Structure 1
Amino acid sequence: MVGRWCTARRRAGSREARRTVPPTACRVPGPVRSAALTAVLATTAALLGGPALAADAPADYAFAGDARRIEGGNGTADAAALEPGATYRSSLPRNGVLSYRVELDASSDTYVSVTAVPGSAGEVTAVDGIRVRLRDADGNSCSTDSATFGAAHSPRPVTAWSRREIVPGATRCQESGTYYVTVERTRPQDSPPRAWDLELAAVTEPRPAAADAPTTPAPWDSATPEPLAGEPQRRPGGQGFAHATPVGQGVWRDDIRPGQTLFYEVPVDWGRRVHATAELDGSGDTSGYATGALHLALHNPVRGEVDDAAKGYAGRRTTVGLAPLPPVDHANRYAADGQVAGMRFAGAYYLVVHLAAQVADDFGEGPFGLTLRVRLSGAGRAGPQYAGESRPGGLFEVSAQDRVAAPENGPADGGAADGGAADGDDLAMKAVAAGGIGTGSLLLVGLGVWTAVARRRA
């Protein structure tokens, strides 16, 4: 688990966190690694601006530690600049349209995602949310996307994405120059008055080096995969995209409270398919009902939403699953179906689970047991040879450690994909909890173990 944590943080975390985690720390074996080093790394991340010390951040979302603070402009004249490869934090008022600008070349696809975090205060409507548009310097629309809270009326982080794609034969939004991203609420008249926090991420994807790259998605089996069986391994979910918990194929367990959102990161290589279901335990009280209570969504490596599903909760065990999705293929971007088009690149996909705040009205504050079943199928293969580097680098690839975490034909029985390390992790953490070791003591113990291991290796 620590190996996956190190891989993810060095690739997607803050610059400070990447410098803080040495490669040797990722190779410390067994439960000692989990009990000591996980505490050290988590404490280090908190000290560097992670969720533990972000006093001004809503409790249900942890922003990227290296997110830059910016203010959106009121128009193109004062639009705030976005740099591809960077993450930003901003704020969206109830009324008005915010503007941001980004300089694009004439050869790369560009994606800008915007995650709105409304916090837990104030009621929201089903059609309330955010709308994101990308336009060229002449005002021509390149893309429009919106994300709403849905039937549950529960405040949660919602993400919309905009994109500029270089398409053979297209004439609009193909030139280099300044482009503008606008963000607004979809239903401001019915929206809570408080400003919403925003997390923006701009990324670029180079074109394939081969001029004859396929432009038609390959046929695929649209039958719904069987949910993965087996005993679950405990994996606490993260609180944001930058802090998502890495998991591979398997059955994973956590607790969730009404109003809470959990994030998991799943590496999906070229040619592979991902399917997931989320199960909520029964409460013992079946006298109430919460509409659209359990919400599951899949986001691609640029945070664009690929698919989502929700189901009501009546106090009995409830399961919600994603629709069948195609294998990851570069040519999927040319599909008319939005779900197929979203599966356009390899990399870290995100499973986002939300439990509606209204569940507490009839069933209490919980926590409720949550089981996430993740199945990866299909044979991995080489992807396109890109003509350049993505920004940030390595975004559209799966590392060697990611492949270990999510092996082809992984544990079909739902067991841990890391050779049983999950059992050791759980036992070690239970021992720490039972012993009542405080954070400071655990930090010192972890540093001692880290130092001893480093000396022994030297």
Structure 2
Amino acid sequence: MGRVRAAVRTGAVAGAAAVAVAAGLPAAAHATGTAPQPVPTYRAADGAKAVAGKPSTADAPLLEAGSVYQDEIAPGERVYRLVLEKDQSNVYVSAVVRPGPGAKVTGSDGIEVEIMTTAGRSCQGSTGRASFGYDPVPISAAGVRWGSEDAECAPGGVYYAKVTRTSAKGSDQSPWPVELKVQREPGRSSGGPTAAPGSWASGAPTLPGTEAVARTGGTGFNDARALGGGVWRDELRPGQTRFYRVPLDWGQQLGLSAELSAAKLTKQYGSASNGLTVSLYSPYRRLVSYEDVSYDGKQAGATLEKTPPVAYENRFASDAEVKSVGIAGWYYIAVTMGAKVADFTEDATPVPLTLRTDVSGTPAKAPAYAQSLTAAGFGVGAEDRAAAREGLTAPEAADAARNGSVMRVVAGAGFGTGTLLLLVLGGWILLARRGRGAATAG
């Protein structure tokens, strides 16, 4: 393929990506006066493998570290097999369930992940749970095999991950898609900490008040929009959840708040008790903390307590909110507007959302691992910090790494449709001119 043809094709790929991102922006849907599109559905992981869990350990399918799987789960249990090494590594198995639009859920409905031995014993501190509020939004729970803290689960061999979906009698009983991800944290070198940390500065964070920068959140963990510290502007519709991700290095803390401003009211009075929910997840998709507040269509705000500094020894704490902040990497933020808000607001008009994030603390030296933490998908490197500055999702960051700077046209996902098209058309014209010049020179 000639140089000119290759350049024009690259420009076309960038143009298609730009238009696709622009089409996904809420502003593009209502700026033309057309009816609102359905709330975007959860983006599954690229390359996820189909798997069918079993109701018992007999013939349970194998899950391997470093892989993502897709299955379906009805109320009840699904069992999967793990083959683990005796190397003091920690293995995390997360399950993200995705109810269908409009599915009925209650606070007693949820998901649980447990790691078990072949004797049926639950590994110490392995079980992770998550439950719904009033809305059928994606939620995640994670089970853990602690390779150095639990003597009975330290040996190498076969283990089982049991995923249980609980459902009240009047709730939706249909099978839901479930995404399973297996992550392995390498074992530590000798001499590491074995006790919980002392105290730290906690409580409400001091958050920035600078001008907001547009960043459109993703549909789930796989396309969460990257953020650093700052003020970020997005939009939400009733029943919608936006996902974001923030890199936290060793020794760093995260402060976070979310605000909904005024909606276009259809009734003089109204209120949704869970009108705004903010959830924070760990790099292995376990819930760290959350806050939900009511929303009356005029103003609402939710602030999470500042996380403890990321530290290996946090995993020895008894407090679940501390225990889950035990490894450096991408922490995920999910912001939901309750579906009940549609009872008194105009669904076609998205509501402005403001996120305030503060990343504090100087990055500390990483613990001594026996193998690369980065290769395992954890830790924070230069590429992660760049992605946070540019607002890249994980797929965009991967494309940028493969294709150079082409994808940076759409990095912020805050451009208007017209601006994106002008940038793309300008790029095509420039490439065409360069092509003509190269042909003439040849």
TM tier, smaller: 0.7 to 0.9
**Mean CA deviation greater in 179-188 or 306-315:** 179-188
* Aligned-residue identity in percent: 35
Q: Of residues 203, 208, 215 in structure 2, which corresponds to 1:235? A: 215
- Residues 18-417 of structure 1 mapped to structure 2, 5 A cutoff: 37=14, 39-40=16-17, 59-94=40-75, 96-106=76-86, 107-142=88-123, 143-150=126-133, 153-168=134-149, 170-285=150-265, 287-365=269-347, 366-390=349-373, 393-404=375-386
CA gap 1:427/1:36 in 2 versus in 1, 3 angstroms = farther
Cα drift, residue 337 of structure 1: 0.6
SS of alignment partner, residue 235 of structure 2 = strand
2:216/2:414 contact within 8 Å kept: no
Q: Please report the TM-score for the alignment, with normalisation by the length of structure 2.
A: 0.80
Q: Letter of the aligned partner of 2:92 in structure 1?
A: Y
- Work out the CA distance in 2 between the residues paired with 1:427 and 1:164: 40
CA–CA separation in structure 2 for the residues paired with 1:136 and 1:423: 47
Q: How many residues align?
A: 388
Q: CA deviation at 1:140?
A: 0.4
Residues 266 and 237 of structure 1: CA distance in aligned 2, closer, same or farther (over 3 Å)? same
CA contact (8 A) 2:114 2:143 kept: yes
Secondary structure at the residue paired with 2:113? Answer: strand
**5+ unaligned residues in a row in structure 1: which ranges?**
1-24, 26-32, 47-56, 408-420
Once the two structures are superposed, what CA deviation does each residue of 1:229-248 show, in whole Å capped at 9, x if it has no partner?
A: 11111001011111111111
What is the one-letter code of the residue matched to 1:155?
Answer: P
Please report how far the alpha carbon of residue 41 of structure 1 lies from its aligned counterpart in structure 2 after TM superposition: 7.5
The answer on whether the counterparts of 1:36 and 1:446 sit within 8 Å (CA) in structure 2 is no
Is the contact made by 1:111 and 1:162 (CA closer than 8 Å) also made in structure 2?
yes
Deviates more, 1:290-299 or 1:122-131: 122-131
SS of residue paired to 1:141: coil
Structure 1 residue 446 displacement after superposition: 10
Cα gap change, 1:406/1:379 in structure 2, threshold over 3 Å: closer, same or farther? farther
* TM superposition outliers: structure 1 runs of 4+ over 2 Å: 33-44, 57-60, 187-191, 210-216, 401-407, 421-435, 441-449
Does structure 2 conserve the Cα–Cα contact (< 8 Å) formed by 1:60 and 1:119?
no
| Structure 1 residues 188 and 232: alpha-carbon distance in aligned structure 2, compared to 1, 3 A threshold | same
**In structure 2, do the counterparts of structure 1 residues 37 and 181 end up closer, same or farther at CA, with 3 Å as the change threshold?**
same
**Is the alpha carbon distance of 1:274 and 1:316 closer, same or farther for their aligned partners in structure 2, counting shifts above 3 Å?**
same
Give distance in 1, aligned partners of 2:350 and 2:228.
24
Tell me by how many angstroms 1:193 deviates.
Answer: 2.5
Q: Which SS does the other structure have where 1:331 is aligned? A: helix
In terms of mean alpha carbon deviation, does 258-267 or 357-366 score higher? 357-366
| C-alpha distance in 2 between matches for 1:425 and 1:97 | 41
Alpha-carbon RMSD: 3.3
User: Residues 425, 208 of structure 1: CA spacing in aligned structure 2 closer, same or farther, 3 A cutoff?
Assistant: closer
Larger Rg over CA atoms: 2
